[in-house]
Amino acid sequence: MHRYGSLDIRARAACAPVLTEMAREPWTLKGVHVLDCRTEIAAAAGDTLIPPSLRPGIPSYGALVVSRVEESPVGPFALAELRVGVRIGATAGFFLVGAVCDSPAARQALAERWGYPCVAGEIVLEELYHRASARVTLQGRTVLELTLSDRRPLPGTRLNVPSIVNLARQGPDGPLLLVNTPIQSTYAQADGGRYAITAFDGTAFGAGEAFRPSFPMGSTIGVAEITLGAIDVTADPVKPAEESLAIVA
């Protein structure tokens, strides 16, 4: 009865990251500058970005998130993510459709331990008093350009960053599975604002034409300490997640 995703898992299998070790220890990322722009997306096309085991939010929505990490176990790096809001069983999260990362060491660790589907690219995140902007380029080609304007301080530090779900392969010849990573964020400071997406190439993020922003939601720019938790739940990417959820011991 319920609406589920309709991502062609077989088509995605070839580019699914291979988990060589499922993340058991959390990573603490310090001094993370995060530009997070959330948008409703066209539902029918958006469903094709989500594995059949997950359900979309109603309305369908996604996030374009650009982060610059000052301190991590593999040194500084920058990451640009395309996320789609999902429900894993009855819990809200984001399915990571695709990502760009500027650090080979971070790309490798994120892929092998958490299943992040990262490709290499250049990322610039700039913050000014009244605005913030991000540009992502692949081999000199701009694939994402975001601007947040009319910055205004947000009350409190309670910004919502739910868990991230990745599609990965468990070992080189292992099965495809979904892995859920809990995210904890503590913002030292955050501003809201209006955003504009002035350039976007979904192909660079593995979304093709399916990620179609349709109605703006919220956007923030802030500085946070983010903990990428140990993978806590896995699920079959094809069966309804509520039937195949497995807690990682």
Partner 1 sequence: MFQLSVPRPWTRESERTVINNALDQVKLADELGFDYVWSTEHHFLEEYSHSSSPELFLTACAMVTKRIRLGHGIVVCVPEYSSPIRIAERTAMLDILSGGRLDVGTGRSATWTELAGMGADFDLTKQSWDEYVRVIPKMWTQERFSYQGRFFSMPERAVLPKPYQKPHPPMWVAVTSPGTEVDAAQRGLGSLGLSFGSMADQERVIQNYRRIIRTCEPVGAFVNEHVATVSFMYCHEDDATALRMGGLLNGGFRPLAAQFVHPPEAIPTKPSHTPGLLSALRQGEGPPPREGVIIGDPHHIVRELKRWESMGVDTMNLILNVVECVPQAEVLKSLRLFAKEVFPHFQPAQAAAPAAE
Contact residues for partner 1, defined by CB under 8 A: 1-3, 38, 40, 55-59, 61, 85, 87, 89-92, 154-156, 158-160, 162, 190, 192, 215, 217-218, 220, 242, 245
**In the complex, least distance from residue 39 CB atom to partner 1, rounded to whole angstroms:** 9
Q: Minimal CA–CA distance to 159: which of 129, 132, 191?
A: 191
State which residue, 201 or 242, has the beta carbon closest to partner 1. Answer: 242
Torsions phi, psi of 151, nearest 5?
-60, 135
**In the complex, least distance from residue 190 CB atom to partner 1, rounded to whole angstroms:** 7
**In the complex, least distance from residue 74 CB atom to partner 1, rounded to whole angstroms:** 29
State which residue, 209 or 243, has the beta carbon closest to partner 1. Answer: 243
DSSP annotation of 243: H
Q: How far apart (Å, rounded) are the C-alpha atoms in residues 94 and 180?
A: 9
State which residue, 18 or 223, has the beta carbon closest to partner 1. Answer: 223
Contact (CB, 8 A) for 232 and 91: no
Q: How far apart (Å, rounded) are the C-alpha atoms in residues 50 and 32?
A: 27
Contact (CB, 8 A) for 22 and 222: no
**In the complex, least distance from residue 180 CB atom to partner 1, rounded to whole angstroms:** 13
State which residue, 16 or 178, has the beta carbon closest to partner 1. Answer: 178
